[in-house]
């Protein structure tokens, strides 16, 4: 299985916010944004491993800015780290100013997907090789996030979370 870079999995979805997708404040419903993020992240994970993928978890979502009615929204997703059968996908959400065309970051999220066969059994995924400084930063942080998640779920003992412990011991 050949290793890939995050760029191989890059997925960009652009759409406009319509009236039926907004709340009482005329901003995009959070659930609508989560669905858009899940679709982009799913395509990204599938591009990385070239298998069926299923959402295993939504690890983090930050709703930093409301997204107003009529906004052009771009959801960008890339695999940030690949493990044995799972992939972490980092999603950035951008709003485009209608007049200037300038983009500003509105939200972000981190989802985890598992590659599966037609029967739903997990499959191995290719290694990920980060290239840019941001990709390397997200790659390193992904292991700490995974260990924390496993510790909190009771699937890993805290003393076995080596990357997480290193964060505190090297401070």
Cβ-in-10-Å burial (0-12, 13-18, 19+) of 141 comes to middle
Instruction: Quote the pTM value.
Output: 0.91
* Residue 143: both structure tokens together: 């292991």
Taking only the tens place, the pLDDT of each residue in 143-168 is 999 998 888 889 999 888 888 877 77
Q: Tens of pLDDT along 59-88? A: 999 999 999 999 999 999 999 999 999 999
């Amino acid at each position: 299985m050949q290793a890939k870079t995050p760029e191989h999995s890059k997925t960009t979805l652009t759409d406009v916010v319509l009236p039926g997708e907004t709340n009482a404040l005329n901003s995009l419903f959070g659930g609508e944004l989560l669905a858009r993020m899940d679709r982009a992240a799913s395509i990204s994970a599938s591009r990385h491993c070239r298998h069926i993928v299923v959402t295993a978890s939504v690890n983090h979502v930050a709703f930093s800015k409301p997204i107003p009615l009529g906004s052009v929204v771009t959801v960008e997703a890339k695999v940030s780290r690949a493990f044995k059968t799972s992939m972490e996908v980092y999603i950035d959400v951008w709003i485009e100013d209608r007049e200037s065309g300038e983009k500003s970051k509105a939200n972000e999220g981190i989802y985890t997907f598992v590659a599966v066969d037609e029967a739903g059994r997990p499959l191995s995924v290719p290694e990920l090789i980060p290239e840019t400084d941001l990709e390397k930063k997200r790659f390193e942080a992904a292991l700490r996030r995974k260990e924390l998640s496993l510790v909190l779920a009771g699937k890993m003992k805290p003393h076995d979370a080596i990357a997480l412990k290193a964060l505190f011991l090297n401070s």
